[in-house]
Amino acid sequence: MPDQNSTLRAQRRAETQRMIQAHALRLFTERGYDATTVTDVAEAAGVSPMTVYRHFPTKEDLVLFDQNGRLVAERIAASSAVHPLVRRIGIALIDSAAALTGGGHADDLTANRRFLLARLRLMISTPALRAKHLDNHYALQQAIVDALGDDATDPEDAFRARAAASACLAALHTALVRWAEDDGRTELPEVIAKALAAAFGDDIVGTGPDR
Amino acid sequence: MPDQNSTLRAQRRAETQRMIQAHALRLFTERGYDATTVTDVAEAAGVSPMTVYRHFPTKEDLVLFDQNGRLVAERIAASSAVHPLVRRIGIALIDSAAALTGGGHADDLTANRRFLLARLRLMISTPALRAKHLDNHYALQQAIVDALGDDATDPEDAFRARAAASACLAALHTALVRWAEDDGRTELPEVIAKALAAAFGDDIVGTGPDR
DNA sequence: ACCAACTTGGTAGTGACTACCACCAAGGTA
DNA sequence: TACCTTGGTGGTAGTCACTACCAAGTTGGT
């Protein structure tokens, strides 16, 4: 049975992947992204440079690898289609952020929150990472459009969905930058809500039915 | 006096820069971006690879170098501050696009329009270019925020301006992609207006006072 | 015991990009 | 005219991300 086999192998694979990424993030924050070579990461993780490239196609992916996008897409697919696009997407983004940053107070930074902040700071301050991260929004945008479940047949509908999704993601990114500037002291969902309100109007994320 | 001197030198410099970029764009569209090396570009332009790097810090800049951003910022600075942020930015984007694509009919593609399309297609299809181009929106976003002339003192105001600007730019990018998909047959300003309307509501770009 | 798939490591490249240095042409000054 | 500064250019050598191509060990299933 390839089932147990693959899951067991997949577990080992995911484990080494996590290990390599952890060492990479540590070195990057310590010495800086550009000043750290892939060989450095490999040595710190106790593997060969080749192995690093097998798990992460590019050096940037050592920082950018995550799967928070799936979270957002699921929430959108589960949302009610009666609301306007930006409201559906905005609410999904806020809720996903709330799930990610956990429920703790702003003062006690959980380990998860610290991890997110470290990655975020790297992404913002390093041009190469910032660029690739913004480009990753492309894939996320497409995932959101698919999750909206609109008629894929009408190109005009698809276009409108893409425009709404990209604008929401841009507002999200602005909120993330702001959150990192505040060292995560503020509540991320609130910051996102403010960004969305500034772009789309206060009413779009206001308390209403379905939430 | 270094005045006449520098302008004369600057002219020559700008000339070779334009020449190198023209050869680069030709080769990129002919053979593909990744399949063309900087040395190839240098040979085609009749200069050394070093000279290429002196004029364009990175290979991506051979495609992305332009200064349309200044156009947008000027229009925003000249717009009336009584309108909401996204309206001011949106109108500026639409007007700038109209100025760039010229007044000709959609059928007769002017040389300028063709040039814009070629660059756009390269930017969209090549991941490295797409990423860096999106990152360039960062600088443009900051220029827009500065041009809005809002209180730079209040961080909340600045944050709102950033959120609005980034969302507008994202919608613009979606419109540009759509325009390239249509091979420039549609009118770019209209496409941008549709994208903005999809994201921010139909009323935001509607005909009104000040325009 | 045996086979097959998976994972890892090594080697030798390509290509973008960066020092560091030398050369040459142009413009201003003694 | 001779000198000197400035700015554009070219060469060399090197670093680093990344990619084939190939060899070896390990693990899971028969």
Rounded-to-integer distance, Cα A126 and Cα B135, Å: 11
Among A58, A76, A98, residue at a domain's last position: A58
Measure the CA angle with vertex B208, ends B204 and B211; round to 5°: 95
Q: Which of residues 49-68 of B touch strand D (CB under 7 A)?
A: 50-51, 54-55
Domain span at residue B31 reads 2-58
> What is the total count of domains within chain B?
2
| pLDDT score of A29 more than 50 | yes
Q: Let me know whether A119 and A196 are in one domain.
A: yes
CB contact under 8 A, B178 and A159: yes
Share of chain A above pLDDT 90, in %: 70
Of all nucleotides, the one whose C1′ comes closest to residue A16's CA is C7
* Residue A1 binned pLDDT confidence (cut-offs 50, 70, 90): very low
The pTM of this model reads 0.90
In whole numbers, what is the pLDDT of chain A averaged over residues?
89
| pLDDT score of B143 more than 60 | yes
Q: Which of B86, B88, B159 to mutate to test the interface with A (most CBs of A within 10 A)?
A: B159
pLDDT for res B211:
45
Contact with chain B for residue A172, Cβ under 8 A: no
CATH of the domain at A24: 1.10.10.60
Closest to A169 in 3D by CA, of A133, A204, A201, A120: A133
DSSP state, B208?
-
Q: Which of B59, B83, B166 to mutate to test the interface with A (most CBs of A within 10 A)?
A: B166
Is B207 part of a structural domain of the chain? Answer: no
| pLDDT score of B189 more than 80 | yes
B75 CB closer than 7 A to any strand C atom:
no
Closest to A211 in 3D by CA, of A44, A111, A87: A87
Contact with chain B for residue A85, Cβ under 8 A: yes
Contact with chain A for residue B86, Cβ under 8 A: yes
Q: Let me know whether A76 and A29 are in one domain.
A: no
Distance (Å) from CA A156 to C1' D15? 49
Q: Let me know whether A81 and A179 are in one domain.
A: yes
pLDDT tens column, B192-203:
999 999 999 987
Q: Which range (A10-24, B31-45, B155-169) has the least confidence?
A: A10-24
C-beta of residue B118 within 8 angstroms of C-beta of residue B25: yes
Q: Which residues of B touch A85 (CB under 8 A)?
A: 198
pLDDT tens column, A106-142:
555 677 888 899 999 999 999 999 999 999 999 999 9
pLDDT tens column, A69-117:
889 999 999 988 889 999 999 999 999 999 998 765 555 567 788 889 9
Contact with chain B for residue A35, Cβ under 8 A: no
Give the mean pLDDT of B161-167: 97
C-beta of residue A195 within 8 angstroms of C-beta of residue B159: yes
Q: Let me know whether A102 and A168 are in one domain.
A: yes
Give the mean pLDDT of B135-161: 89
pLDDT for res A9:
74
Rounded-to-integer distance, Cα B96 and Cα B147, Å: 15
Other beta carbons less than 10 A from residue B109's beta carbon: 18
